[in-house]
Amino acid sequence: MADLVIGAPARRREWIIEPYLEHVMEACGQAHVEPEFVFVVPKDDPTIDLIRSRMSEPFAGGAKVDFILTDEEPAPHDKRTWGPVRLRLMVDLRNRLLRRVRQLAPLAFLSLDTDILIAPGAIQAALEGLQCYRGTDVSGKPWQYDAVGMRTYMSILGNQFPSQGQLVNNHLMNRTDWIKGTHPADVIMAAKLMGPAAYKVDYEFHTEGEDVGWSVACARFGVKLGYCADAKAKHVMRPIDLTALDERVGF
């Protein structure tokens, strides 16, 4: 059984995949976990060779990498066009990934979008949040989170759209920008550390994205979600921002 499986779709991510892997391996080292990787990639995508080459280097520590190859046509560059067709495709791709994760049966699965760079302490902080049943919240009730989101943002600028929120009439709202601690959430997105109860839940279509659809399904199955503001992650939504400082997360 693997300690931790990490993965996501990786369509045309050659501009970021190498720092993505470097940040992940550093965070795994700080958390003292040995990862395996699974990526869902179009079969002719140049990202594949970059992952294989980079993960063959000593810094990767021999971590196993697996690919789920698709017939999806690689885009000429990374496009963010999110109509119903694309959203349904993402549901399918992420569920293919989850089926592989269930076969591997890790202690935890980090669903980490491949345009996100995590801080060195992010995995350790999120793992501690995943085990909050060992403590209590301010009201004295026991905490228990089956999945924990990392703190990142779903917009290039501003803090109005953190990667968590509450569901109101089946819509994502009330997105408080927590800056420390672990808090209950109805929806977590983009960087999610899942225990077994959480990675057994399939993604579902939702007009606000497959992460929202998955979170809605988690609520239906009694899977509890938390958001760890101390697990920081930089969402690089454009190649020009790759080396820019995101003051919201500090790097």
Residues 204-218 pLDDT 10s = 999 999 999 999 999
What pLDDT does 3 receive?
Answer: 87
Structure tokens at 223: 């899977």
- Compute the average pLDDT of residues 107-134: 88
Q: What is the mean pLDDT of residues 98-123?
A: 97
**How wide is the angle at C-alpha 243 spanned by C-alphas 23 and 162, nearest 5°?**
70
Closest by CA to 113, choosing from 90, 134, 83, is 90
Position 133 scores a pLDDT of: 40
pLDDT at 18 over 60: yes
pTM: 0.93
Element (H, E) at 99: helix 84-104
pLDDT of residue 194: 95
Which of 147, 81, 85 minimizes the C-alpha distance to 112?
A: 147
Residues 6+ apart with CB under 8 A from 139: none
pLDDT tens digits for range 44-89: 999 999 999 999 999 999 999 999 999 976 555 555 566 888 899 9
Q: What is the pLDDT of residue 72?
A: 77
Whether the pLDDT of residue 132 is over 50: the answer is: no
pLDDT digits 0-9 by tens, 174-205: 999 999 999 999 999 999 999 999 999 999 99
User: What is the tens place of the pLDDT at every residue in 133-177?
Assistant: 444 444 555 457 999 999 999 999 999 999 999 999 999 999 999
Q: Supply the pLDDT for residue 79.
A: 56
pLDDT at 136: 47
Distance CA 186, CA 47 (A): 33
Whether the predicted pLDDT of 130 surpasses 80: yes
The pLDDT score that the predictor gives to residue 2 is 76
pLDDT at 179 (0 to 100): 94
CA pair distance 218, 210, nearest whole angstrom: 12
Q: Which CATH class is domain 4-239?
A: alpha beta
How far is residue 46 from each of residues 21, 38, 49, 63, 195, measured CA to CA in Å?
16, 16, 6, 20, 31
